[in-house]
């Protein structure tokens, strides 16, 4: 039986990769022999290295930090020796970025932060600083520093926990909800207390009764459980705010500008672990998919090369010609199988030459308008495509390309197999 998400105008997104994935518990992937830790794993300037070559580092030890407000530290995901600093291809930016290469050696040693057994007794500033110190960023994909979201000047009345996980290849958030409901609730409480919000909403696509433990604790904590319709596009932060509260976030603003803060459910777990256990953000859950293995949920340390994950899954890396990190709808393919994971990556999809490559042979646009019909933010991808090909910048501006949320639905439905994606296309032009 196939599974679909319903979009506008009766279009559907195939979510068959998800079938059965939610029932598969996390498996812990052993640390790789060599971990590659990028200094840049968040929105904002990278920190300065705090270690040097040949230094011995412990798991959880801070590797970099900086004074800029948006800078968050990165921590060693393994115990070992720093063998190199290098400029390597970054899995998200696609550019060469500074990385620390650590060779794993000896027994694992841990360097965690002080434990806050009663976080409610800590000051808000102390909690925010702890979250920054732990290197926590939004784990839904944006990698925006969490401490900035918690210390904004805007008046916020709603906290929304985004557990929608609408990407067709991801189910790791559902696994978190099944396996770590207490930590999720603790994280939500910590965030809610810092923000001082009136109302907390937990948005999920699951049906009532599917997450009994979590539903119970959320109910006890008076957190509203919002079951969202099964749609891929509503997983977007901006559309989720509109769906739940009817508030529209302008393209040049963020949810706090309309009184809402949105955090991913995985971020809540990271916050709880940082505050209550003193654990920095050095690992995360992700969903892995290949046709041979099907879907699996893995708990992986940052800096683990994709190659290591494939080998762990019992696959031969040389059999694959495409690897997508993150969402299969929004993530880019990486050029090198050894690129390491960073904090924002919630999924890995490995594709062989036998897997479909639907955009290989595009036809000219037939102006069927399917992209316009499915667009969840009501821009006109078809007209933007034409304007972009003609270099008509005036018309592009009129068509509000800035409202594009890069969801790729326009490309997904295109009968001419065109990667429409207006924002990316216009940015690259």
Partner 1 sequence: MVDSKKHSHPLRPDLPPHIASGESKNRVMMKTCVAMCIPAILGVAAIGWNALWQILIAVATVLVLHFIIQVWERSTERMITYPSPSSPLVLGMIVGLSMPASSPYAVTVGVAALAMVIFKYFQGRVLYRKYINPAAASKTVLLAILSIIILFEDPLRVGMIFHPHHLRLDMISAEGFANAVAFYQTDTMTAAQSLIFWKTHGWIGGASGVGVLITGVIASYWIKLKWRIPLAFLVVMTVLATTMGLFTGGDPVSRIALHVFTGSVIFLAFFMATEPQSTPMPERAQYLFGVLLAVFTFILQLGGVLGGSIIALVVLNVFTPLFDKFGHKRAVGLGGGKHVA
- Of residues 74-93, those binding partner 1 (CB under 8 A): 83-84, 86, 88
DSSP 283: E
Nearest to 339 by CA among 357, 354, 326: 326
Considering only residues 100 to 119 of the shown chain, the ones binding partner 1 according to CB under 8 A are: 101
From the list 3-11, 55-63, 124-132, 138-146, the region that binds partner 1 by CB under 8 A is: 3-11
294 binds partner 1 (CB under 8 A): no
For residue 60, give both structure tokens: 């959880």
Number of chain residues interacting with partner 1 (CB under 8 A): 89
Residue from 13, 21, 46, 223 that binds partner 1 (CB under 8 A)?
13
Q: Are 417 and 362 in contact (CB under 8 A)?
A: yes
250 binds partner 1 (CB under 8 A): yes
Reduced to 3 states (helix: H, G, I; strand: E, B; else coil), residue 351 is: strand
Residue from 262, 323, 342, 346 that binds partner 1 (CB under 8 A)?
323
Q: Which is nearer to partner 1, 189 or 237 (CB)?
A: 237
Residue from 95, 366, 393, 397 that binds partner 1 (CB under 8 A)?
366
Shortest separation between residue 211's beta carbon and partner 1, angstroms: 27
Please give the sequence-ordered ranges of beta strands (E in DSSP) within 118-183, or none if there are none.
158-163
Q: Which is nearer to partner 1, 108 or 336 (CB)?
A: 336
379 binds partner 1 (CB under 8 A): yes
* Residue-wise DSSP of 182-242: HHHHHHHHHHHHHHT-SEEEEEESSPTTSSHHHHHHHHHTT-EEEE--S-SGGGSHHHHHH
391 CA to centre of own chain: 33
Dihedral (CA of 100, 101, 106, 109) sign: positive
Q: Are 24 and 35 in contact (CB under 8 A)?
A: no
From the list 40-48, 142-150, 277-285, 373-381, the region that binds partner 1 by CB under 8 A is: 373-381
For residue 255, give both structure tokens: 């949810």
Dihedral (CA of 266, 272, 277, 282) sign: positive
Shortest separation between residue 395's beta carbon and partner 1, angstroms: 7
352 binds partner 1 (CB under 8 A): no
Residue from 177, 206, 320, 342 that binds partner 1 (CB under 8 A)?
320
Site string for partner 1, 130-159 (x = CB under 8 A): ---------------------------xx-
Reduced to 3 states (helix: H, G, I; strand: E, B; else coil), residue 163 is: strand
Nearest to 136 by CA among 282, 318, 340: 282
Residue from 187, 235, 331, 422 that binds partner 1 (CB under 8 A)?
331
d(CA 408, CA 262): 22
Please give the sequence-ordered ranges of beta strands (E in DSSP) within 78-169, or none if there are none.
80-89, 96-104, 158-163
Considering only residues 26 to 45 of the shown chain, the ones binding partner 1 according to CB under 8 A are: 34, 36
Shortest separation between residue 41's beta carbon and partner 1, angstroms: 17
Q: Which is nearer to partner 1, 17 or 72 (CB)?
A: 17
Q: Which is nearer to partner 1, 199 or 277 (CB)?
A: 199
Residue from 173, 399, 422, 426 that binds partner 1 (CB under 8 A)?
399
From the list 66-74, 115-123, 262-270, 329-337, the region that binds partner 1 by CB under 8 A is: 329-337
Kindly give the interhelix angle for 181-195 and 172-179, rounded to the nearest 10 degrees. 100
Considering only residues 160 to 219 of the shown chain, the ones binding partner 1 according to CB under 8 A are: 168
Shortest separation between residue 87's beta carbon and partner 1, angstroms: 11
Residue from 184, 239, 272, 315 that binds partner 1 (CB under 8 A)?
239
d(CA 75, CA 47): 11
């Amino acid at each position: 039986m196939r599974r679909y998400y319903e979009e506008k105008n009766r279009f559907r997104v195939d979510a068959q990769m998800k079938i059965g994935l939610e029932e598969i518990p996390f498996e812990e992937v052993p640390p790789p022999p060599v971990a590659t830790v990028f200094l840049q794993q968040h929105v904002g300037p990278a920190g300065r290295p705090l270690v040097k070559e040949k230094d011995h580092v412990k798991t959880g030890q801070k590797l970099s930090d900086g004074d800029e407000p948006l800078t968050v530290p990165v921590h060693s995901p393994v115990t070992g020796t720093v063998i190199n600093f290098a400029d390597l291809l970054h899995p998200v930016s696609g550019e060469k970025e500074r990385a620390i290469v650590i060779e794993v050696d000896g027994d694992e040693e841990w360097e965690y932060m002080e434990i806050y057994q009663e976080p409610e007794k800590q000051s808000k500033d102390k909690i925010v600083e702890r979250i920054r110190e732990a290197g926590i960023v939004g784990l839904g994909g944006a990698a925006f520093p969490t401490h900035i979201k918690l210390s904004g000047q805007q008046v916020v009345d709603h906290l929304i926990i985004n557990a929608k996980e609408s990407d067709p290849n991801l189910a790791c958030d559902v696994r978190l909800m099944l396996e770590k409901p207490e930590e999720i609730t603790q994280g939500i409480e910590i965030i809610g207390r810092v923000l001082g919000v009136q109302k907390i909403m937990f948005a999920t696509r699951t049906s009532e009764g599917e997450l009994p433990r979590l539903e119970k604790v959320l109910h006890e904590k008076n957190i509203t459980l919002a079951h969202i319709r099964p749609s891929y596009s509503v997983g977007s932060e901006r559309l989720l705010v509109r769906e739940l509260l009817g508030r529209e976030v302008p393209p040049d603003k963020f949810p706090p500008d309309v009184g809402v803060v949105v955090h991913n459910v995985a971020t809540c777990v990271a916050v709880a672990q940082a505050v209550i256990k003193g654990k920095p953000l050095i690992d995360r859950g992700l969903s892995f998919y290949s046709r041979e293995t099907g879907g699996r949920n893995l708990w992986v340390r940052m800096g683990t090369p994709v190659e290591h994950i494939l080998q762990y899954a019992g696959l031969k890396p040389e059999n694959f010609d495409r690897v997508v990190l993150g969402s299969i709808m929004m993530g880019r393919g990486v050029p090198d199988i050894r690129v390491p994971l960073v904090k924002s990556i919630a999924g890995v999809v490995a594709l062989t030459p036998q897997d479909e490559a639907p955009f290989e042979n595009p036809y000219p646009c037939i102006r069927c308008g399917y992209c316009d019909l499915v667009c969840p933010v009501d821009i006109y991808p078809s007209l933007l495509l034409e304007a972009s090909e003609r270099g008509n910048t005036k018309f592009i501006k009129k068509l509000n390309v800035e409202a594009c949320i890069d969801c790729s639905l326009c490309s997904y439905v295109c009968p001419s197999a065109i990667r429409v994606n207006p924002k990316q296309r216009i940015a690259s032009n």
